[in-house]
Amino acid sequence: MAAHEARKVLRGAGEATVEVRLGSGVTVGGGAFTVIAGPCALENADQVEKAATAVKLAGAHVLRGGAFKPRTSPYSFQGLGEMGLQLLAEQGKRHRMPVVSEVMDVSQLALMLDYVDVLQIGARNMHNFSLLREVAKTNRPVVLKRGFGATLEEWLLAAEYLLDGGNDQVILCERGIRSFDNTLRNTLDLAGMAWVKERSRLPVIVDPSHSTGVRSLVIPMALAAAAAGADGIMVEVHPAPEAAMCDGPQALTPEMFGSLMQTLPALLHATGRALARPEALAAVGGASR
């Protein structure tokens, strides 16, 4: 990458990874491994409540859920919009977990800021430079997903837009790319993730759900991401995946997610790391708003 193109996103000699603060004492990039979990789409109050309770009990740090869904077909479920954001924020407060949700368009930004701790920019919007510029102005932490057709350099330059606009609270998320092989939904570029970790000062997480599209591969790829040095994962969990309105085939059941969270500490330990502290675990079941 030419030095004049990307500056702020690159790691200077000996420079530490930026520690991104998500709220409720949860950070990404400080060395520990952070887990973001929840359903692909927010569907209804019962589903969001069950998903939030399950991921919190298992030890997740951040709750995810899409209210505005970028679907390939206009006839697929498009998300609950503001009602979904309300449900997400309510469960985040109840379980003292910061919440993250995707902003698809500049026009949604003001609304999103009322409800979410962390803004997600999706793979389909990584090249939306006007959205990047507006999100940069918010100073809200951002999860920036890699476009499925984007090179590593293009991904870093998209992050550069956020940093150049004054927001360095950026987490990069590898979510799989399109390759010649369409057997799986996407091709998880773990080596690309590790390359970006070396070169960028930003924390990098992995999404083992969209990068595989296959439930049985999510746990192995989550563990591989941890072994390869990722700062965390973003994983889809649904209380009843067979009934999911979006991405059911790749959603972990609460039981599977629990088992992943049980396995991660030993694997992280082998590489001298640990799970981030479950900051507010005592708050499970508590209802402070």
Q: Residue 123 binds which one of Mn ion, ligand PEP, none, with CB within 5 to 8 A depending on kind?
A: ligand PEP
- Closest distance to ligand PEP from the beta carbon of 122 (Å): 3
Q: Give the residue with the Cβ less far from Mn ion, 163 or 222.
A: 222
- Closest distance to Mn ion from the beta carbon of 228 (Å): 22
- Output b/e per residue, 221-245; b: 16+ Cβ within 10 A: bbbbbbeeebbbbbbbbbbebeebb
Q: Residue 88 binds which one of Mn ion, ligand PEP, none, with CB within 5 to 8 A depending on kind?
A: none
Q: Give the residue with the Cβ less far from Mn ion, 40 or 99.
A: 40
Q: Give the residue with the Cβ less far from ligand PEP, 6 or 150.
A: 150
Nearest to 209 by CA among 241, 180, 231, 181: 241
Q: Residue 265 binds which one of ligand PEP, Mn ion, none, with CB within 5 to 8 A depending on kind?
A: none
Longest CA–CA separation in the chain, Å: 51
Site string for Mn ion, 9-48 (x = CB under 5 A): -------------------------------x--------
Residues of this chain that interact with ligand PEP (CB under 6 A) are: 40, 66, 70, 102, 122-124, 145, 175, 210
Residue that is written with structure tokens 């890699």 in the block: 146
CA 144/CA 121 separation, integer angstroms = 5
Q: Residue 174 binds which one of Mn ion, ligand PEP, none, with CB within 5 to 8 A depending on kind?
A: none
- Closest distance to ligand PEP from the beta carbon of 2 (Å): 27
Q: Give the residue with the Cβ less far from ligand PEP, 143 or 223.
A: 143
Q: How many CA atoms lie less than 13 Å away from 265 in the CB half-sphere?
A: 10
Do 157 and 5 contact (CB within 8 A), yes or no? Answer: yes
- Closest distance to ligand PEP from the beta carbon of 234 (Å): 7
Q: Give the residue with the Cβ less far from ligand PEP, 123 or 157.
A: 123
Number of residues that bind Mn ion (CB under 5 A): 2
Site string for Mn ion, 235-264 (x = CB under 5 A): ------------x-----------------
CA 107/CA 15 separation, integer angstroms = 36
- Closest distance to Mn ion from the beta carbon of 39 (Å): 8
Q: Which of residues 73-132 bind Mn ion (CB under 5 A)?
A: none
* Nearest residue (beta carbon) to ligand PEP: 122
> Residues interacting with Mn ion, by CB under 5 A?
40, 247
